[in-house]
Structures are given as structure tokens and as C-alpha cells.
Structure 1
Amino acid sequence: MSSAISPGELTFLAVALVLAGGATGILAGVFGVGGGAVIVPILYEIFRLAGVPEEVRMPLCVGTPLAIIIPTSIRSFMTHRAKGLVDLSILKIWAVTVVLGVVAGSYVARFAPPDLFKIIFVVVAALSALRLIFATDRWNFGAELAAKPIMVGYGGLIGVLSALMSIGGGQLSSLFMTFHGRPIHQAIATSSGLGVLISIPGALGFIDAGWPKMAVLPPLSLGFVSLIGFLLFVPTSVRTAPIGARLAHRLSKRRLEVAFGLFLLVVAGRFTWSLLA
């Protein structure tokens, strides 16, 4: 790998990582997401400057946030649960199939082309955003949750897509819950718990998936997880997650829906641009 990177560039990238860690924690708290949408592009630029080969760059950018999400999700979940809005009955239904879905997604990551991660992110984020921004009742499947077999299926889908998108499952699970009449505050609070179920097996799966590529991965990598990225992101993201969670409970339902939708549109637009560039 190339070592032609100046001290000034290293300083800039280190500061960017710390600031992005703070933004990641706030996003995890406000929206119940793991912040992968913030982490992935910054890590991609860092690894590009460091000369990480293209064949492993994107999987490394996806695997590393899953490890970063672990402490952030735990802190966010604890804050939301203290507010009394987490629906543990939903998490119990999803627990097993979400984990199985993450394992399956991690296996796919061994062979998936880099653009697949971006395409999945764009499609899911755009659909979620349109539903939230326009708040149309036509996207509502009823006032009650779906039957248990359907909920179990949702769990598996959330797990697979979350592993390939490097997120905590927040926007996917929030989408399904609001489809079935759950208030956005409760959906986001409950979704924060999925970050724990997704991030731990997801990170382990990407470590395993990247192990055969260790020869071309950058130093201090465990498979497709960068320990440097993990260590720089975690301190600030853990500190700011409760701030985001408290902010979420102060916003009105409509403002939270619009803010979440606009956030997802920005994410979809960024990845669309990178696919076309």
C-alpha cells in the first residue's frame, strides 16, 4: 500500500474521524440507526488515500461500521429504554431471524461486488424517505402488527439488508413498524435495540469474510474490520448517542418523520452519485 500521505492529511483525516464519530452517535440516538451512512464515505476516502486496493476497500468500509455500531447501539438502546418506548415484544420476535439474516448477509459479502452494497442502500433509503416525507396513508398496512410469520420474515430481511448496508437496521425496522401503525417515536426507540442484534454478529461475520484477504488489507485490520477506524470513532459516538436520543423525544412526530426522510434522501443521493461517477 502507498505511504505517500502528508502529516497535514493525516491530521485532517483524524479530526474528520473524531467529528464523524460524534455525528454517528447523534444519528444513532435521533433516528435509531447505526450511523453507517456517515462512517462509510469517510472511511472510503481514508482507505483510498492509504492505497487500500479497490477489491477490499468497500467491504472494509462496510464491515468496520458494524463494529463501531456495537457500543453506540448499546448506549442508544439504553437511553431509549429508559424513556419507556422500546417494545421488547417486537425485539423478541425478530431476535433469531435478524441474527440469521445478518449471518447470511455477511456470507454474501465474501463474493458481492462493491456496487451491490451501494445499490441496496439507495433503493431501501429512497423508499423509506418517500414514505416518511409524504406521510401517505396508502403506505399503511393497518393499525396492528402483521402476523407472527410475516414479522419473522421481516426480521430475516432486515438482518440480510442491514449487513450489506452497514447499518443498525434502524431505517428498515422503523419503516416496517410505521407501515403497521406504530408511532415514529416508538419505532425509532425499538429499532435502536436491533443495532445490538445486528452489529455483533455482523462484525464477526465480516471479520471472517475478510480473513482470506488479510494479505492485501491495511495494517491493524481483522478481516474486513479496521481497528484504527473503530478506535477513532467509538469514543465520541458513544458520548453523543444519548444526546441524539433525548433530542428525538423532544421533536414532534411530523418533524421527526420529515427529518428522518430528508436524512435518508441525502444518503440515497450520495450513493447514487458515487455509482454514476
Structure 2
Amino acid sequence: MSKGSYEEKAAPGYARSRHELLDAGRVLPPPFDGVAKTSAPRAADVFALVEPMLREHGAGVVLLDEPFADEEFVAFGARLGTATEETDPAVQPFVTGGVILNLLGKNRRTDDVSLQPFAENSLSLHTEGSGRVAVDQPRYIVLMCCHPGPRPTAAQTALVPMEEIFGRLSAGDREVLSRTRYAHLPPGETILREHDGRPVFSFRDFLGGRLDWVNDGGDPPEAVDVALENLHAAMYAPGARGVHWQRGLLVVIDNRRHFHGRTAGTAPAGEPRHLKRLRIR
């Protein structure tokens, strides 16, 4: 066993790529097969459209005539699994019915990580719930747009398939990451694992923060740091897709198949962007 900490260097090679993706105002290409339009008013009908997209791409994108009412939105989530309660005290003013998080882009930049989803900040690429054991991480993230805000190409939701990132890493880096975990997690909860024959990453780009890690294979700290740096570089290599939000757009992301993040937004003087989110286990 070896232990250590990973901290971003003053000028890591991937910093420019991250800036270009998240903070340079780029308009990203749309995800996969584009948007399936539907006037279906019921959760079951929309799920029938989304399910084959999830199987093929690990994400589904559907444009509803009108956003679901909260009851129907929760009913749609129930088709995927069990909605996770929003328990963070900092976000309770934005929670409806215990499980719907209202993502309102109305605030200027903030250093408070809990409030960054409601601010102009970009959000670094991550697996949702990477600091938890795998069984407690969401399987799906469901996002629905009630209002896109004044600039639909700002605050795009960025998607990067895990299989693409896996393919950019060397065999040696993959092996090291499959033996490395966050220090507070128990053995077996590694940054890279396999599920149903696919590579799954459980990881967040901490930006300037420190990541304390444990390697259960005894790899030297230098090898772990190199593998983590190469993972960041692979995450921010060209190829990300971006969701351009419009009213009624509903997106489902498989948390075991995609990293996701968000490009920088602009807090408007008028009506802000409003997405509703469910996290499904």
C-alpha cells in the first residue's frame, strides 16, 4: 500500500484544454444522435423514447412540448430507479418535494462549492457522487429545462464518454488507477473499475484542491501522480459534446458512462436559466 496527495501544478499541461472547454465561450457540438422531439405528455411514453438512447449512447435527449409538472417529472425518474433526496443544507432553498433540485443560474461567481451550481462558475468534469462508495452513487442524472435563460449556448452541460477517456490512457495508467482510491473510501472503491464489461471512472477534477489517495497495489507515488495527471489530460482532450438548453429539453445521463460538467454561464439581470434535476439510484 502507498499513500499520497495529488495537487495540480502551477501550469499543468491540461489547464489550457480545460479552459478552452469550460471557460472560453466555445459552442460545443450536440450529443450523439441529436434531439428526439415528442408531444407525449406522460412519463411512460417519454421513457420509451429515452430507454433505447440510454442503451446505445449512455445518454438520452428528448424535447417535450412543455416541461413536465413536478409529479410527472418524479414519475419519469421512477421509471429509471429511486430518486435520491437532496440533503445538503446549503441547497434546501432550491429543493422541491425533497428530491427535485431547482438549478437557477442567478448568482455571480462564488467560491462556495455547494452554491456553484447556482452561479456563473463553470463546473469541472466529474462523476456525480465520486466521493461515495459506488453503490451510493447515482446511476442517472435527469435534467429538464424550464427556462434556458437569455443565452442558451452559455452554461452548456458538457458530456465526455468514459470509454473515450479510457482509450486515451496507457495500459500502465489504467492499471494504476484501478488500484487507487480516494483516501477516505474503503478498499475496492477505486477510481477506475469495470461494470458490465465497460470501464467506469469515479472521479472529480478538484481544480486547485488536494486529492488524498491510497494505492492498494503498492505503486510508487510518482506513478500515481503521473496516472492522475494523464487522466485529467484525457478528460479534457477534444471531443466533448454540449447540451444547448431550451424550454422542455429533458436529458438523462448515465453516471457510469459519462463524465459531465458545465461551461461558464452569465448571471442575467432578467429571468435566469432554470433546470430541474433528479439524481436516480
TM-score for both structures, normalised by structure 2: 0.28
Structure having the larger proportion of residues in helix: 1
TM-score for both structures, normalised by structure 1: 0.28
Q: Which has the larger radius of gyration?
A: 2
Structure having the larger proportion of residues in strand: 2
